[in-house]
Each structure stands twice: as C-alpha cells, then as structure tokens.
Amino acid sequence: MLVTGASGFLGRAVATELVASGHEVRTLQRRPSGVAGATDVLGTVTDAGAVARAVDGVEGVVHLAAKVSLAGDPAEFRAVNVEGTRTLLDAARDAGATRFVQVSSPSVAHAGSALVGVGAEPASPEHARGDYARTKAEAELLALSRDAASFAVVAIRPHLVWGPGDAQLTERIVDRARRGRLPLLNGGTALIDSTYVDNAATGIAAALRRAETAHGRAFVLTSGEPRPVGDLMAGICIAAGVTPPRWSIPAGLGRAAGSLVERVWAVRPGVDEPPMTRFLAEQLSTAHWFDQRPIREALDWTPSVTLDEGLRRLAAAYVR
C-alpha cells in the first residue's frame, strides 16, 4: 500500500495504522516519514518520476499529500492539489493498483452557511471558499470520476483532525491562546464536529479496505460528538495547561477582519498562517456537524476513541 503525505500528522497516523494491520507500506513525501516498518520514497506528487517509483507494484493508494494553507499562490495550490492528484491517479492505475482513497475535506462543500446534520454534500469548486478548498473540490471530483471496472475510488473528508503531535490545529490553538490572540466568535457557541487522529486513521484504513463496495462515494469522517467550538478549544487548551480563550467578538466583525487580513496578506504575506481569514471566521461562527450513519454503514467502521478520551491522551502527551 502507498500512503502519500506520510510525513504529515494524519498521513503518519494512517501509514502507522496500515503497518500495524499487517500491510506492506510505502510512503511518498518530501522528507522521511518516520513511520517504523514503512519504506520511504522521497519526492512529490508533482514529480512524475517519483510518483512512478512510488506506485510500482502497489495494490492500493491513500492520497493525503496536498498544499494545505489559508493563503498562498493559487498556481501552487492547483499544481499540487489538482495536477498532482491527476498524476497520481493515472500512474496508480497504469501500475495496476485497484483501490484509491482520496483524502479530501468537508470544505469542498462549504459555501459559508451552517451545515447541520448533513452528509457529504456534492463537492463544488464554484462555491468553495479559498484556493485550498476549491482545488481540493476539483481533485475530489477528478478522483471520483474514474471508472470502477478495475480501479475503485473513495473520497474521505476528515473534519478538524487533532491529537498529540498535531502542529496545525492543536498547536495553533494552544499557541494563540497562550499569547492571548484566540478570540471566540459569537461566544464560541457554534456546534461543530471534530475528529481525534486515531479515529481518522482507522476510518481511512476502512475506506481502503471497502473501496470496491463504496466506489464513487464521498464520506465526511468525524468522531461523531459535536460540541460548541468554544468548549472544544477550551478542552484542548486545558489539556496543554493553557488558559482557554475568554474574550469574544461578533462574527460579522471577525469576517470583516478576515477579509482585511486576506487583502494585506496578498501583498505582504507573513511567515505563518494569517491570524484570521473570512473562511476561518465562518468556520468558527457557523455550525458544521455531520450525519455519520452513511460512513459507518458503508465502511463497517465506528470510531474507537471518544472526544473526552482523546483530550485525556492529549493532556498526557503534554505532560511527557
């Protein structure tokens, strides 16, 4: 099995899960994955030669490699997320792979309004917010358009993956809270789903296992325990020993600030992610939780780690 992007937080967890399940695992990414028992191929999905070496002889592919950011060059998002996916799809099929899991994002179907108890709505590049979401929507549609005759493709959209070792969502929440730069929007009352990393890894592994019967379908994957966004951020902060955010601003002000930051960032980008964008403000102030019955039934999978247990594991990791 091949896992792309295995040096990243979720990719490493998926590769580790597949190794633990007895699979022979190969990985493709720019730097060593650090996954014990896996064989690394160093390169990118935009390099056809590296992709050809990586897919040679593999039965299945889990594709996580992507340009993930709230800002950046639109051409770079397209080169990696769309054309890189196209290169990998073509190479995998030509090499004889029979299963392909496209790891996507719920943002491919998010147009700014609340998502309450819905399933995997159709990916929409026209309505998705930002270059990342737009190009991931295109990539998902490209992957799911493949013929099922001998190449089964499933799209999995993990939502807000977090846990020990996460340098993206978890560490950014903790760092900004520590510096007093993490506001709540509308009091942090929006109900949202999230996904503990172990649940995301086992769900994606289940998609690889059940690809033939689930071909052509997209699923949102979460831990299935919606909570107010303020409660989730507080839990993560407390686990890290940091005071949770307590100050709140109106959502409209957050969106306005996000639009202003985006314009400034386009001219003078900073070294890290922008502190606020319109998309981020929408995510922090609108409900987005999802019906988990479709994925659990189709993949014969249920999450094994509760949100509270995940927070306990996170706290233990910060103590070490």
Annotated catalytic sites, by residue? 132
Contacts of 231 (CB under 8 A, 6+ apart): 188
Identify which of 155, 134, 131, 132 has the alpha carbon closest to the alpha carbon of residue 143: 155
Amino acid identity of residue 118, one-letter, is: V
Query: Could you give the CA distance from residue 140 to residue 7 in angstroms, rounded to a whole number?
Result: 22
150-153, long-range: CB < 8 A, 24+ apart: 150/93, 150/98, 151/92, 151/93, 151/97, 151/98, 151/99, 151/100, 152/98, 152/99, 152/100, 152/211, 152/212, 152/214, 152/215, 153/89, 153/99, 153/100, 153/101, 153/102, 153/211, 153/215, 153/216
Q: Are 28 and 2 in contact (CB under 8 A)?
A: yes
Identify which of 114, 54, 111 has the alpha carbon closest to the alpha carbon of residue 88: 54
